[in-house]
Chains A and B, each alone.
Chain A
Amino acid sequence: MCWRIWARVLFPLLAMQLIIGGFSALALADAVRPTPEAVLDTRYRLVLDLVRHTATYSPPVASRAFAYFGTIGYEATASGRTDLVTLAGQLHGLQSLPKREPGAAYDLAVVLDAALSSATRRFFDNTGPTGQRAMNSIDAKFTPTVIEGLPSDVVERSQAFGRDLTAAVSNWADGDGRNEIPNMGFPLEYKLKEGPEHWRPTSTIAQQQAPLLPDWGQTRTFAMPTGATCALPPPQTFATDKNSAFFKEAQEVEDTVLHLTPAQKEIARFWSDDPMLSTTPPGHWIQIALSISDKLELPIDKRADLLVRLGVATADAFIGCWQTKFEYETVRPLNYIRANIDPNFTPLLLTPPFPEYPSGHSTQSGAAAAVLTRFFGDNFAYEDSAHVNDGLPPRKFASFWAAADEAAVSRLYGGIHFRTAIERGLDQGRCVGRYANALITAK
């Protein structure tokens, strides 16, 4: 189904300016009530900021939050529509959710604002003082614009329902056991697999002498049956023989890094998406989705649908990817190349502190591309300006799969993945994405 059928509601010009201008502009424009679309956009942009600035929000943790936020946004919307289907009963462990009082008046913008506000406080309770200040500020300045002019009973009922919805989702989230991320996700003890084929620490950062979130693959999935559903075949057989496939792949990484073109460097850095310095890889795809939704002026039901599928897909992708990573615990190019090819090998990017196979960015980019392609079509061209504020120019893509392919190969340019991990990561993401796409939202 084409997005153009959905893009039927035109926003008032000012509302769009507010969306583009962000929260500060909204705060100034107290005469205009934000639309549900503007509420969703504003609240998501705060979440993206908080993902970047909250220490526990490594990519897997961020993807989990996006899945729960997506669910809240979607259910807040679907609960007031007769043409949409709840995801309760479809997402694992989500049995039921609060329902609106029949016949009573609700305002969707208020429901969304209250639900996402309480969700932000729940999921980012651990953020720092500036994050807390930002949450307080948006509640103090933005929420009054959302409720302005509405009857008090509607406001109270809508806010109560939004908060109840988040409480229910929060209870559901409690069941996955991932609320607490001790030591930023790095275990204090970890037994590494013996042998040169297996992962070893790649930095001298004390915290990273154990791998990030080694049991994340056992996390309850959202739409995919289990973390092992989209399992991959084993990686290339480890070998140091110069004629072996493993050696040749390593040599390809080394050669690539040694002879990087400016364009390849730009690609590697564009998709680097480092935690604490960006919105992370899943956040990058959320940024893409928000940007396109704004440009196309998608109505709230389509935005909510897109965001929940994208959140679920990337969250399941990280679970599946981590399940595979810790099944094999494959050595990173840095260790292998230094031991067997070039002791001075230095990748362009910092090597992430967890096993190599498959590439996490590839898996989750494949899953994201699967969702976005189903939503917008095969050859949807767009411009990605996610990192403009960080000094990285926008990049244009002919399709979501073109972007996912580039995200995947960026890890080769960065010197942190072998080709097999990249290609099979995309395969795994494609598989994961099918489950998110199979969720039923329309009657």
Chain B
Amino acid sequence: MIQNALLPKSSRARRGQFDAGGELAKLAVAQRRLVPKAAPQVPGYRLAFAYRPAYIATGDYCDFFPRGNGRLAVFIGDGSGHGPAASMLMATMRTHPGLHADPGRTLTDVGRMFHEVVPSELFMTGVYLLLEGGDTVSWASAGQDPPLRINPLGQVATVDSTPVRTPLGVLSGETYPTVRWHLAPGERLFLFTDGLVEARNSSGEAFGRVRLRRSLAELSYRPLEKMVDEILKKAKEHAEGADFEDDFSIVAIERMDEV
């Protein structure tokens, strides 16, 4: 295919040719220290987490914010470029303890701060999700795929992207609505950044959202961590064993049976 022949092997660019004076390498060291090593424990829920940087410094940012009383906030996002936006957002979210209440309000406040400090062409997509305790989860999205919701029968709910708003940093006055769900025992949520669905084979075909949804349905009977591993394996197989071209992060959540 002619278009495929034109696709460059841009590994040099991908792997850090633009690393100006080693600054990105330093940024990468800081990022690696701050990225969670594992998903935290939350009563009533099982969590699984995967994070794959594809570059020296990553544009992805994934973080967990315990809120006490069995509550946990999760942020998963993807910054434009490879490093600066994600690091700025990481600094913002970690140093403003007043954040992390209602997801929509959190993204609204963070988005305003972000817009004030970053150049106009930098932005961050992301989903902020709060396990509120009991069966309630709430979330807000800034330019990112909403959480996929899988019921115990393996059915993946239709995605409604109406509540999704612009990426953080693009519009100063953007407000983000909060969506609230009540999860039944056995229901799962799958949060991801687009590097997963952008994995391509030699024909240039992306793994894609349709294939991801089908895989989630097929693997819904597997334990949560195995489901995540198998999804990664399927994406890698689709890419014919090649490295993923973009960073990606995954957070999977399952509501456990009530004790």
The answer on A and B forming one complex is no
Contact residues of A with B, CB < 8 Å? none
Contact residues of B with A, CB < 8 Å? none
